[in-house]
Amino acid sequence: MSAEAKKQTLGFETEVKHLLHLMIHSLYSNKEIFLRELISNGSDAADKLRFEALSNDSLYEGDSELKIRLAFDKENRTITIADNGIGMTRDEVQEHIGTIAKSGTKQFFEKLTGEQAKDSELIGQFGVGFYSSFIVADRVTLTTRKAGASKDEGARWESSGEGEYTLETISKEQRGTEIVLHLKAGEDEFLDGYRLRSIVRKFSDHISIPIIMTKEVVPSYKDEDDKEGEEAEAKDETPPQPEDETINSASALWTKARQDIKDEDYNEFYKHVSHDWQDPLVHVHSKVEGTNEFTLLLYVPSRAPFDLWDRNAKHGVKLYVRKIFIMDDAEQLMPRYLRFIRGIIDAGSLPLNVSREILQQSKQLSTIKSGAVKKVLGMLEGVAKNEPEKYEAFWKEFGQVIKEGPIEDHGNKERIAKLLRFASTHTNTDKQDVTLEDYVSRMQEGQDKIYYVTAESYAAAKNSPHLEIFRKKGIEVLLLSDRIDEWLISHLDEFDGKHLQSVAKGDLDLKTPEDEEAKKELEETAKDFESVITQIKEVLGDKVSEVKLSQRLTDSPACLVADVYGMSLNMERIMKDAGQGMGFGMNKKPIFEINPGHTLVARLKEEQDDARFADLTNILFDQAILSEGGQLDDPAAFVHKLNGLLQGLLK
């Protein structure tokens, strides 16, 4: 026996134990799903073999009828699930089984709180897969051999799910994977053919290869009189060959007509392709005719996957060609902003021998992609229109990703823009539920722009001094505080012919008659403030590009305004945080606007003492930074100056 053939005892990754514990507890009321998960794996293994065999027929080893066999043994209290799919090498077993080598796992564990209830919720986002065996079994034996490998290159893995597993090389006649579950005490309900059949029909009917069980001998109800004769007959006959039966409908779900598919079937298929254990939020099933004929069955999950923000996360759409699985993770099929979409696309017109390289440049595939994107957008539009509550749930989970849409997908910009939802001064809550269309319908007479403010948090946006004049005039402003918003807005400069305008950038031009009036008045006032403005400029030096009287303030004494062509101050901060080297200062300096109607500014005008003038000016400037959500370079100096003034009050 070679060294590696020896039995090894290996430890699970530390996280596995915790994960197993959580899974078992959160799934206990739904424990029959272990069967769905194992059958799902068997079906994936068959898909993989079928694809590999396209270019290497010998992998079938003369047996191309792919299937899954399910059996139970009452005496030994075991359930066996066996497939003749691709199988695994010993190394693959070590890599895939009992190890969580999925991207994003680490982040997932960081999110766990240790509180059972909360963590159970979270874990729903994490596929259960093979581990679900341990919900019902206290020992699991997996034997497998890779298709095309020699018979003595099989592997046996065994574990009781408690931190360790053994792995050894064995000889295995049949390629594929066989899993034996040694049931825990109390799980005997699964040692029942009727129960197993009904679970398969409920969860795995859509699996496209046959799931086979031995036909059970149904006791026949014959006349009492016949009984003796029958027994006598049975005695001298060898038992009849057990007969097989297929217990699922074994056809690719997406090839069926919509009206023949039940909601449960759609949901179970979703769980199979997505490895999610919750029902999806919504699906679209559609056949697109034409030269590039294809069928798609795509889903929106009800919860964001745990790796939604992981750059390396897998994409969720599988590519099939005429029912043959071609590949997972087909990033050519969905743009990044729809990366949460799960399901399949069956491209009838692609050749079967496509490779990843060919796909990358395939014109046909990009046509299919754009057709699929349109279907997905159509589905979302439908939900938004007809099922607003569902859309709200969708937006909560995926809104931030959809906001990448106008940046990534110019062709569909208008359509995506209509799917966006924002918080706004109209509703004054942090709930993002205002559409751009709603906004436009509420625009005031003469208003020709869609106004927004960006800030680091909803509170900072809502309380921004820049909103004062808008609130006073009852002009709605969108309150943007998601990180992505700055980028979104830089790519979405227009909606329905209306320019999107930051309230914190450039000159205000509200285009109303009162506005013109106010402007004139301000020009008059400005004459009075000329010398104050010059003095403020001297104090602030190159911290600002300009100082002027403000039209936007009613309650606050001062604010900062970004150059109309420059970055907003919020954007500058984001860039700085992201270490983009574009720190405060690289951008054009902000304009410092003061409110001539404010008592502090009036006080400044009267101030004779230069030192006090400088202190007050610096305080107003720092306050303006703070109310923008910015950070002070020297907070202690600010506090010191402020206290100086306050003490002055007490004298």
Ligand X SMILES: Nc1ncnc2c1ncn2[C@@H]1O[C@H](COP(=O)(O)OP(=O)(O)OP(=O)(O)O)[C@@H](O)[C@H]1O
Which residues contact ligand X (rule: CB under 6 A)? Answer: 41-42, 45, 83, 85-88, 96-97, 127-130, 177, 275
412: annotated binding-site residue? no
128: annotated binding-site residue? yes
Q: Which is nearer to ligand X, 272 or 589 (CB)?
A: 272
204 and 40 in contact (C-beta within 8 Å)? Answer: yes
Q: How far is the CB of 78 from ligand X (least distance, A)?
A: 17
Q: How far is the CB of 154 from ligand X (least distance, A)?
A: 13
Q: At what angle do helices 599-606 and 513-540 cross, to 10 degrees?
A: 50
Q: Which is nearer to ligand X, 81 or 558 (CB)?
A: 81
29: annotated binding-site residue? no
In sequence order, which residues have a C-beta less than 8 Å from that of residue 530 and are 6 or more positions away? Answer: none
621: annotated binding-site residue? no
Compute how many other C-beta atoms are within 10 angstroms of the C-beta atom of residue 631. 11
Q: Which is nearer to ligand X, 85 or 630 (CB)?
A: 85
Give 509-513's long-range contacts (Cβ < 8 A, gap of 24+): 510/446, 510/447, 510/469, 510/473, 510/475, 511/446, 511/447, 511/448, 512/444, 512/445, 512/446, 512/447, 512/473, 513/446
Q: How far is the CB of 299 from ligand X (least distance, A)?
A: 15
CA atoms of 298 and 319, how far apart (whole Å): 11
258: annotated binding-site residue? no
Q: Which is nearer to ligand X, 307 or 404 (CB)?
A: 307
356: annotated binding-site residue? yes
DSSP H/E element including 118: helix 116-123
CA atoms of 72 and 76, how far apart (whole Å): 9
88: annotated binding-site residue? yes
Q: How far is the CB of 170 from ligand X (least distance, A)?
A: 16
Strands 342-347, 317-321: pairing kind: parallel
Q: How far is the CB of 58 from ligand X (least distance, A)?
A: 19
Q: How far is the CB of 293 from ligand X (least distance, A)?
A: 30
Q: Which is nearer to ligand X, 213 or 504 (CB)?
A: 213
Determine the Cα angle at 15 with ends 9 and 19, to 5°.
105
CA atoms of 67 and 246, how far apart (whole Å): 10
* C-alpha 212, offset from chain centre: 36
Q: Which is nearer to ligand X, 127 or 280 (CB)?
A: 127
103: annotated binding-site residue? yes
Q: Which is nearer to ligand X, 328 or 456 (CB)?
A: 328
306 and 107 in contact (C-beta within 8 Å)? Answer: yes
Q: At what angle do helices 14-26 and 116-123 cross, to 10 degrees?
A: 100
CA atoms of 210 and 230, how far apart (whole Å): 34
Q: How far is the CB of 265 from ligand X (least distance, A)?
A: 19
Q: Which is nearer to ligand X, 103 or 463 (CB)?
A: 103
129: annotated binding-site residue? yes
413: annotated binding-site residue? no
177: annotated binding-site residue? yes
Give 46-51's long-range contacts (Cβ < 8 A, gap of 24+): 46/83, 46/84, 46/85, 46/86, 46/209, 47/85, 47/324, 47/325, 48/85, 48/86, 48/325, 49/84, 49/85, 49/86, 49/147, 50/324, 50/325, 51/324, 51/325, 51/326, 51/327
130: annotated binding-site residue? yes
Q: Which is nearer to ligand X, 177 or 464 (CB)?
A: 177
Q: How far is the CB of 87 from ligand X (least distance, A)?
A: 6
Q: Which is nearer to ligand X, 130 or 391 (CB)?
A: 130
Question: Between the CA of residue 241 and those of 210, 217, 232, what are the distances in Å?
Answer: 20, 11, 19
Q: Label residues 128-156 b or e (16+ Cβ within 10 Å = b).
A: bbbbbbbbbbebbbbbbbbbbbeeebbbb
99: annotated binding-site residue? no
Q: Which residue is nearest to ligand X (CB)?
A: 127
Q: How far is the CB of 246 from ligand X (least distance, A)?
A: 19
Coil, helix or strand for 649?
helix
Q: How far is the CB of 406 from ligand X (least distance, A)?
A: 31
Which residues make beta-bridge pairs with 555?
none
Binding residues, as ranges, are 37, 41, 83, 88, 102-104, 125-130, 177, 356
* Binding site residue list for ATP: 37, 41, 83, 88, 102-104, 125-130, 177, 356
